[in-house]
Structure 1
Amino acid sequence: MRLVAAIILTILLLFHGNSTDANSESTLQELDQLADEALQLTKFSRLEEAKAILERFAVQFSEQGIKEGKFTMDELRVLTASHHEALRAVTNINMSLEERIRLVTSFRLAADAISSTHQPMWIEMEASVMKEFQKVKNAALEGNKEAYNQNLNTFLSTYTVIQPSLKIDLAAEKLQKLDSKITYIDRYRSDFSEQEWTAHLESLEQDLQKIFSNPDEDEADPSLWWVISMTGSIIILTLSYVSWRKYRGEKQQKKSKDPNN
């Protein structure tokens, strides 16, 4: 009876776990769908409807996301800030349609970054981001300060669209390194030197290419992996030795109890 009860309890726990995972996935999909609807409505200037969808998102996000603890603190902070900007975009009467779409797109990508476990949508922005960056680099190589400043502004505007998503998907150290380089070329743009800026821009270009090609790349210290590997090997050997000793002891015990011996 105890065995049967244990089996039933195990099945119930497994079922509950699968049910919880399914509910969590359903909530994320619903939030992702609302974010997409808000973006599509914004593109067609149906701002009141977009506002209503964003408000529904806020209610559901609070009730099913925050209260049930489905998100990390970083995800909560980033998505809340991005949602605030999207809501501002559809309620500010003085904002251009292009700017509205940019802000709501940023929110939509952030919502997708939370719900996606593979190939998030922000990666599809690679062509746009790298195209604008190439214009910045070309202007620097040509020594054209006016074009450089203009193209840099456009690049920064494009980059901010994916920045909330990067905060969700990238390791903090990797994003900090990338943002510090972007901040540098923005802050010291007046000190234009072709040779110096070429080196800075090439370094930044490599980092941008890495985040799009390997967003989930693990940058852990190789020595750390060596320690983990060695520790795992020691644990396996220890368990194997303990199992062998137990098997040998049980065999000897049976042998000593054998009346034929």
Structure 2
Amino acid sequence: MIKKILLLAAAFLTITISSVHANSSSVLGQLDDISDDSLQLAKVGKYSDSEKMLLFFSDMFIKGKKQIFNMDELRVITAAHDEALTAIRDKQASASKKVDAVTKFRLVIDAVKSNRQPLWTSMEDPMMTAFSQTKDAVKEKDSKQVHNQISILLNQYSVIHPSLKVDLSKDTLEKLDARVNFIKQYEPGLLSEESGQKELDGLQQDLKSIFDDMSKDEADPSLWWVIITTGSIIILTLSYVGWRKYKGGGGTESPRKERND
């Protein structure tokens, strides 16, 4: 009887954990879809409709934020959402600025939702291309082209930066930010100073390493949590049942020995 109760409890707990995870995934999936809709509308110039999707997101986000997101995610998502909404409402903002702001927001939501290969990793090719073109301009001593390519690179980094806050450790992000700030402040030195070129190489290598790491397939952590929890419950249940049998067997063995004696 006890064995059945424990097994039923294990099954119930497993189902409960899976149900909570499924519910969270469902809400996240809806928020992810809304952010994507907002981006697609912004790309074709339907800014009013894009704004409506951002406001719709806000309503859903407020209802589910306490159950789904941690404090760091809340801060990053809120900041990216506010920036996107401000840009999409700004009649003076260029089309590219509007799209970049909503893209930044879209990538953040995907970074929170995805446990492997987040969308921001798709920025690897354009960023690596910008690095290559910047280096070519440095070799040719073309200051104007260096400035243009650095601007492109910094803008690309700005678009993925909120997503990096979600997926990278604080130390790793601080290291990247330090390199980016150095290049931003000492851009003229890239043409003449070896230290500036080394920082550019270092930033490229660090970003390449991060892109490679994030592109690797990894098991969903939430799935591992369910597996480990379920396995632990089953092991404890079987151990308890075994102990009960052992204890029961030990209790009935003594009288036989006494009778045999």
Q: Could you say whether these structures have the same fold, taking a TM-score greater than 0.5 normalized by the shorter chain as the test?
A: yes
Query: For the structure 1 residues 87 and 256, does the alpha-carbon distance in structure 2 shift closer, same or farther, using more than 3 Å as the test?
Result: same
Shift of 1:7: 4.3
Report the Cα offset of residue 154 of structure 1.
1.4
Q: Which residue of 2 aligns with 1:33?
A: 33
Greater mean alpha carbon deviation, residues 11-20 or residues 203-212: 11-20
Q: Displacement, 1:34?
A: 0.2
Match in the other structure for 1:238: none
Asked if 1:185 corresponds to 2:183, the answer is yes
1:6-155 to structure 2, matched below 5 A, reads: 6-64=6-64, 66-68=65-67, 70-155=68-153
8 Å CA contact 1:32, 1:108 repeated in 2: yes
What SS does the corresponding residue of 1:95 show, helix, strand or coil?
coil
Native 8 Å contact 1:113 1:169 kept in 2: yes
Partners in 1 of 2:137 and 2:193 — Cα distance? 9
**Residue 189 of structure 1, CA deviation:** 1.9
Alpha-carbon RMSD across the aligned residues, in angstroms, is 2.6
**Correspondence list, 1:196-211, <5 A:** 196-211=195-210
- What's the CA shift for 1:254? 4.8
Query: Does the CA contact (< 8 Å) of 2:116 and 2:214 recur in 1?
Result: no
Tell me if the contact between 1:140 and 1:194 (Cα under 8 Å) persists in the aligned partners: no
Partner of 2:164: 166
Aligned partners of 1:135, 1:208: CA distance in 2, in Å? 16
Scaled by the length of structure 1, the TM-score of the pair is: 0.79
Deviates more, 1:55-64 or 1:191-200: 191-200
Structure 1 residue runs of 5 or longer lacking an equivalent are 218-246
AA matched with 1:24: S
Cα shift readout 1:13-53 (whole Å, capped 9, x = no counterpart):
33222211110000110000000000011011111111111
- Looking at both structures, which has the greater relative contact order when contacts are Cα pairs under 8 Å and sequence separation is at least 6? 2
Paired with 1:42 and 1:59, the residues of 2 have a C-alpha distance of 20
Task: Give 1:117 deviation, angstroms.
Answer: 1.2
Q: Tell me the CA shift for residue 3 of structure 1.
A: 5.2
Question: Which of 156, 163, 166 is matched with 2:154 structurally?
Answer: 156
Amino acid corresponding to residue 52 of structure 2 in structure 1: A
SS for the counterpart of 1:93 is coil
Could you tell me the TM-score, scaled by structure 2's length? 0.79
Please list every run of 5 or more consecutive structure 2 residues that lacks an aligned counterpart in the other structure.
217-245
Q: 2:57 is paired with a residue of what secondary structure? A: helix
In terms of fraction of residues, the more helix-rich structure is: 2
User: Aligned to 2:145, what secondary structure does the other structure show?
Assistant: helix
